[in-house]
Chain A
Amino acid sequence: MKKLTLFLIATMLFLAACTTADTPIATTPAGGGTTATAPADTAGTGDVVDTGGHPILDAGNITLSFSWWGNDARADAMEASFRLFESYYPNVTIVSNTGPWDGWQQAILVNLSAGTEADILQVNYPWVHNFGQGSNVFLDLDTVSHILDLSEWSEEMLNFMRTADGQLSAVPHGMNGHFLMYNRAAINELGLDRFPETLEEFIEFGRELAADNVALDFAGENRYLAFIAAEVLDNILHNIIFNATGNTFFVGNELGFTFEDAVNAYELFVTMWEYNLIPTIQQDEGIPIQHNPAWLDGRALSAFIWVSTFFVVEDGYEGGPGTVDDLYVAVWPGPAGTPGVVLQRPTMGHAISANTQHPEAAAYFLNWFYTNEDAISAIGSVLGLPGANTASIVAEREGLISGNTLVGAEMLQNVRSGPIHHFFEDENFRQPRHIIMEQLALGIITATEAAQLLLDSQNEQLANIANN
């Protein structure tokens, strides 16, 4: 009897717990005829604020989770935008799930595997294509296009986020590309009054700058470099190949270059190492540019960096002998007669989980995030250059993007460009390239051997994809 009583009490408690859960949102489409929400007193002054209540958000209390990575500045901006949305729609609560970039991919993979991911996810470009081939992980945003205004983005931008089966798995926040950021102090050191305009000039300037490099067996204090950071060698390889062939690394599901193109590209790297223009693998300790003494002290001609990280590098440069005004943005130079190039890909995107209980509310939030002027102002430039139409217009009008970042943004629109294929950032392709570059730098293999290994490893992965 006692057992039976206990069982009944437990059952009642369980049922009670189930019925007090959040009321699921109505799936009324935009413009559907439900009552508008009561206006909210957002300022706490008693003044009534028009929230522009939307039927999708009026069906009861909703909690939307939003996962994103970033630094403190991004945290402040994101939280500000979430609170702003809550003040417009008091029945909605936005919960942050956040952390630094390091280890974030693993955390998201674990969440996705366990089905505990957030409703809305900030996603890296390759994730859209790699995570379960996108389709079974993220919601097809075409299905909520009656709420999320996709005309905010160009078809070209949206195509970056379309998976092989045509599903739109995310919307891009904006576009990103690598630029050379020249350092005027190093140019002055050479007694020159201009920056290099061709690849030959770039190499020549670097050679002059590095002519006195003597202590290369030790990361000596007098070492001058053409550019720094081993982590970008792979992107430079891509640029060199694009300049030589006019093709990106992958064209469709094939390589966009030949064996000879690869040999020539690798020989250029060997030349740069031979003349001490760039640090060898042994000398480069992977110190981020903003902390790298060679950059801070003005001993590097240039850094090759994403336009979205200009502000980080500029912040670091304040400790050096020059000022931010001494920095000059340029594209990776082509050989004489060929214009320079910036290869582009989305900085990041925003996706909706395929498992979300609130797909329409999530889509509504995303639409608000990209089109509401207050939201755009709150975010500013912490997510990089905005690519959606409204966001771009507001950012320009409000001066949210300025300085070298604005220069880079304008160049992104106007210079010779090509898309970075998602295969290029897939680790199954990238890791073999990284090993080949290390072996070349260490003198274990020649440029010819490196080119052969490159073709073999990349074609092997392409074949794997074709077979699957």
Chain B
Amino acid sequence: MALQKAKATKATKTKSKIKKRMVMAPLMMLIPWFLGMAFFRVYPIFLSFWYSLTNFPLLGERTFIGLDNFRQIFLNDTTFHASAIATLRYVFFGTPMVLAAALFIAFVLNFKLKGVNIFRTAYYVPSILGGNVAVSILWVQMFRNNGLINSAINNFNNATPEFANIPIVFWLTSETWAPFTLMLLSAWQFGSVMLIFLAALQNVSPSLYEAASIDGAKGWRQFRSITLPIITPVVLFNAVNVLLRHFQEFNSAFLVTSGGPNQSTLFFSLYIYDMAFQRLQMGYASALTWISLAAIGVFTLILFFSSKYWVHYND
């Protein structure tokens, strides 16, 4: 009896050891990630908050100044106001542009066309290229005053004076057009958003379309009343992703327009970079970063809260 009890105790202990190991092993393997996350993400985030409360000339002495940076930004900094307008304009107009372009192309590529996979790949390529230097240089060459687009317009005007006189546009050097040109660049890189939409569209049950056809609904009506409501969770997902990307846009403004003309493309990220690495005011730049983070948080929350009015879940 005692022997049996001892055996049972031993078995329980072994089981518990195995269980412990099963829990501990993955945790141990995750430690490098946790350490990386803690040191390279969480720590700098909190450190930047501390910096935002200081006067910190890069490489110089830090002095605690409380909320002075924030006060200065909101009350006196006209460049911040220009940057906020540029960023919000880019987010509010650019985000729907990307979503609309991606959804439209995904919708077209969802049809059973010959060689559709080639088209899907072709449309995804700009996203692989990303907002890198080469793409930006290409964009500059296309949209500069004497670039491809204006030359084409000019040639068209010269060739067909009786039909049209399309005005030449300062795509990159006009306050009105430069932000729009950068939105176009962003919309052109819709590949990953399009793929997600495509996956969602392919999950819509064909039986719903069949039923709608029987009821006499076609084309646009089917899209509006069946497709769109069903994929709204994916629209929300993509909207949040694109919104975040647009709030943090840096490359295009830095490489294509340098934030100009007259600060019309001086997005938050570019202004933060300028403050930190050109004007060497790391404390001020940190405060701007936290304001940017707060703005992203607020607009993401608004999207989430608004979703109960327009996102439809199956459950």
Contacts and interface: CB of A to CB of B under 8 A. Distances in A.
Nearest to A461: B279
Interface in A120-145: 130-133, 136-137
Contacts of B150: 218
Interface stretch (A76-84, A298-306, A318-326, A436-444): A436-444
A366 B58 CA distance: 27
Nearest to A215: B168
A435 B173 contact: no
A106 B273 CA distance: 10
B278 A282 contact: no
Interface residues of A, number: 30
Contact of B145 (A106, A285, A444): A285
A217 B168 contact: yes
Given A218-B154, A283-B145, A427-B278, A442 B59 contact: no
A109 B277 contact: yes
Contact of B57 (A133, A431, A439, A444): A133
A130 B57 CA distance: 9
A30 B280 CA distance: 38
B261 A438 contact: yes
A439 B173 CA distance: 13
A219 B145 contact: yes
A130 B280 contact: yes
Interface string B144-165: 1110001000100000000000
B139 to A, nearest CB: 13
Nearest to A284: B173
Interface string B261-289: 11100000000001001111100000000
A112 B59 contact: yes
B59 A113 contact: yes
A468 B170 CA distance: 43
Interface string A209-253: 000000001110000000000000000000000000000000000
A389 B174 CA distance: 49
Interface in B215-240: none
Interface in B76-127: 79
B280 A281 contact: no
A444 B280 contact: no
Nearest to B82: A435
Given A130-B280, A442-B261, A281 B173 contact: yes
A156 to B, nearest CB: 27
Interface residues of B, number: 28
Contacts of B57: 132-133, 468
A444 B173 contact: no
A428 interface: yes
Contacts of B131: none
Contacts, number: 72
B54 interface: no
A218 B278 contact: no
B60 to A, nearest CB: 4
Contact of A442 (B144, B168, B175, B280): B175
Instruction: Output the residue of B146, B150, B154, B258 with the most chain A CB within 10 A.
Output: B146
A105 interface: yes
B265 to A, nearest CB: 12
A428 B77 CA distance: 13
B274 A132 contact: no
Contacts of B277: 105-106, 109
A431 B59 contact: no
B279 A431 contact: yes
A106 B278 CA distance: 8
A103 to B, nearest CB: 9
Nearest to A293: B146
Contacts of B144: 285
Contacts of A137: 59
Interface string B64-80: 00000000000000010
B260 interface: yes
Given A109-B277, A431-B274, A285 B173 contact: yes
A427 B279 contact: yes
A268 B104 CA distance: 52
Contacts of B261: 281-282, 438, 442
B172 interface: yes
Contacts of A293: 146
A444 to B, nearest CB: 7
Contact of B262 (A113, A131, A284, A438): A438
Contacts of A283: 145, 173
Given A218-B154, A281-B173, A285-B173, A428 B279 contact: yes
B52 interface: no
A54 B279 CA distance: 42
A107 to B, nearest CB: 10
A112 B60 CA distance: 11
B55 interface: yes
Interface of A: 105-106, 109, 112-113, 130-133, 136-137, 217-219, 281-286, 293, 427-428, 431, 435, 438-439, 442, 444, 468
21 contacts: A106-B277, A109-B277, A113-B59, A131-B59, A131-B280, A136-B60, A218-B150, A219-B145, A219-B146, A281-B261, A281-B262, A285-B144, A427-B279, A427-B280, A431-B274, A435-B262, A438-B262, A442-B261, A444-B262, A468-B55, A468-B57
Interface of B: 55, 57-60, 79, 144-146, 150, 154, 168, 170, 172-175, 258, 260-263, 274, 277-281
Given A109-B58, A219-B145, 17 more contacts: A105-B277, A109-B277, A113-B58, A113-B59, A218-B154, A219-B146, A281-B173, A281-B261, A281-B262, A282-B145, A285-B145, A431-B79, A438-B262, A442-B175, A442-B262, A444-B262, A468-B57
